[in-house]
Amino acid sequence: MERVFNFNAGPATLPLAVLEEAQREMLNYKGTGMSVMEISHRSKEYEAINNEAEANMKELLGLGDNYRVLFLQGGASTQFAMVPMSFLGAGQTADYILTGSWSEKALKEAQKFGQTHVAATTQEGNYVRIPKADEIQLSEAPAYIHLTSNNTIFGTQWQSFPDFGDIPLIADMSSDILCKPFDANKFALIYAGAQKNLGPSGVTVVIIRQDMIEKASTKLPSMLRYDIHAKNNSLYNTPPSFSVYMVNLVLRWLKAQGGLAAMEKQNVEKAALIYDVIDGSNGYYKGHADKDSRSTMNITFRLPNEDLEKAFASEATKAGLIGLKGHRSVGGMRASTYNALPREGCQALADFMKAFMQKNG
């Protein structure tokens, strides 16, 4: 079987072991005579998947009974609106830290529902870095603070998270969730579209503290209410059952790899293979992100001109290195090196970059 190295930003590569397990269970899940895609979401078999996925996520993040894990739909883009609809009340202000396109979109949605304040932004430098702690200027009494943990388009990532005390901290972690250990108890709510680092597209994971469930607005349509989804264990309506099943397989795989500390070690080593080529190229490859803000999940860089970038992407594809073209808004190259991408893929890309530079330098 011929497999390529998939550097797409999302939907993205999945662990081969997970795909093979899903393949084995595809036609007959645990003796039911049905696929997971066919069984009722009210069945004991599916409820077991749902419950295990929540337990596995909480175990990996070190969270207790004061948090719930919800499996929703609509992507992170729906959470951009659902968060302010739920927590931004009349006369309140929500603070947003801008580090790229997705945080801008989150802010734009919040502005439709109430007062907002930009607590920090690195837009002026075209988002080459994460704001420093002393650059963050909060409003007087924010209802919550929102940040985006990793920026897929610009290739920047929070290396550590600020502590805002009792002010609820909310994060979009779609592209780097579970890539490294962090104190998840700092956060009142975390959301993540699954299609980058958790599983296939179709399910959005929301990790929410119990007090936030209790304070969320109840004047919203039922499908936009965190309390209803929590009360019904993410089964208020028919869930994206196969996607949740796949997320649970990925969570099992992460545990088998040694958890988040082991993943961080692998991810740092993988990213270094590529960053070392960039840094040693005498400017032939130019990284977008400042070194102290570099992402281990999305590595962005430019070549000397656009013709070389087109040739690079084309030749890489022929070499089995897929999805390296940068986002249309910034151009250049982007290598997404999520948890599931094997080290061999990063080594193959690093070798290709060296050979391309030698040939076209």
Q: What amino acid positions are annotated as catalytic residues? A: 102, 172, 196
Q: 138 is written with which tokens?
A: 């909060």
Q: Which amino acid, one-letter code, is at 55?
A: A
Cβ atoms within 10 Å, residue 123 = 12
CA–CA distances in Å: residue 35 to residues 16, 21, 31, 45, 204: 19, 13, 10, 11, 22
CA-based torsion, 266, 11, 131, 97: positive or negative: negative
Q: Which amino acid, one-letter code, is at 66?
A: N
Please tell me whether 267 is known to bind a ligand: no
Preceding omega of 84 cis (within 30 degrees of 0):
no
Cα–Cα dist 67/12, whole Å: 28
Please tell me whether 257 is known to bind a ligand: no
Q: Residues near 127 by Cβ (< 8 Å), separated by ≥ 6?
A: 99, 100, 151, 153, 154, 156
Please tell me whether 3 is known to bind a ligand: no
> Contact at 8 Å (CB) between 43 and 136?
no
Please tell me whether 102 is known to bind a ligand: yes
Please tell me whether 314 is known to bind a ligand: no
Please tell me whether 76 is known to bind a ligand: yes
> What are the backbone angles phi and psi of residue 317, rounded to the nearest 5°?
-60, -45
Please tell me whether 158 is known to bind a ligand: no
Please tell me whether 94 is known to bind a ligand: no
Please tell me whether 137 is known to bind a ligand: no
**Binding site per annotation, positions for L-glutamate:** 42
Q: Which residues are annotated as a binding site?
A: 42, 76-77, 102, 152, 172, 195, 237-238
Summarize the annotated binding site for pyridoxal 5'-phosphate as residue ranges: 76-77, 102, 152, 172, 195, 237-238
